[in-house]
Structure 1
Amino acid sequence: MPTTHSVSRLAQVFHALSDETRLCLVALLGSGERCVCDLTAALETGQSRLSFHLKTLKDAGLVRDRRAGRWVYYSLVPEALDGLDEAVGALTPGAAIQASRARCCS
């Protein structure tokens, strides 16, 4: 059974991934580190809008930034997505019952 902290963390991650633009950013960053200017061009969006979405992803711990002079580069935090599939599996109907049975019957 997930802890209160893990449920809160999962909600933060799902919120960050609940936007189409942010999902596109995650997909783009999945192929490697990208400069903000490249992301702006790829998504055909303004820098201020992009900055908002990148901040949301960063606050959720999904991306990190790196400054190089006047340029800012973003990349995915691979370990941030670890266990996401298991967490989703834990939310399926009957998962709590199965987890409860596993504890009481072992």
Structure 2
Amino acid sequence: MPTVKLDKSNLTTSGFHALSDPLRIRILELLKQQEYCVCELCDRLDVTQSKLSFHLKTLKEAELITGRQEGRWIYYRLNLSQLVLLEQYLSEYRRFIDTLPARTGDDIPL
């Protein structure tokens, strides 16, 4: 099944969607240290391979991780260039910091 290349806006959206799940964040945290194969990730995260595969697919589609085949195993690592793009997207909002009114905590709805 061929993968569809997403445009920048869809890639940004899928990147933030991928970051919205606690297990996917845990996967990224592990991959900050080194690359891992699926079996190692399953062991470290204490999840089944089918559950992990679903989350790895989401991260791959968002291009937040890449994989390389070595024998029977696929080893996953961070795709730092995509993480940089998400960081750059968010950094564009820094210019609004000085123009926003100060928040006291009382004005935040519960």
Work out whether the TM-score is over 0.5: yes
1:22-60 Cα offsets, whole Å, 9 max, x none, are 000011001111011110011100000000000000000
Pairing 1:19–2:55 present: no
CA distance in 2, matches of 1:64, 1:93: 32
Corresponding residue of 1:29: 31
SS at structure 1 position matched to 2:58: helix
* Bigger helix share: 1
Kindly state the Cα deviation for residue 91 of structure 1 after the two structures are TM-superposed. 4.1
Shifted more, 68-77 versus 50-59: the winner is 68-77
Superposed CA RMSD: 2.0
Corresponding residue of 1:60: 62
Matches within 5 A, 1:33-52: 33-52=35-54
Matches within 5 A, 1:54-93: 54-91=56-93
Q: Which runs of 5 or more residues in structure 2 are unaligned? A: 1-6, 100-110
Number of aligned positions between the proteins? 92
Corresponding residue of 1:103: none
1:8 aligned to which of 10, 20, 26: 10
Alpha carbons of structure 1 residues 79 and 93: separation in structure 2 relative to 1, 3 Å = closer
Amino acid at match of 1:54: L
Pairing 1:94–2:93 present: no
SS at structure 1 position matched to 2:34: coil
Q: TM-score, normalised by structure 1?
A: 0.76
Amino acid at match of 1:19: D
Kindly state the Cα deviation for residue 68 of structure 1 after the two structures are TM-superposed. 1.1
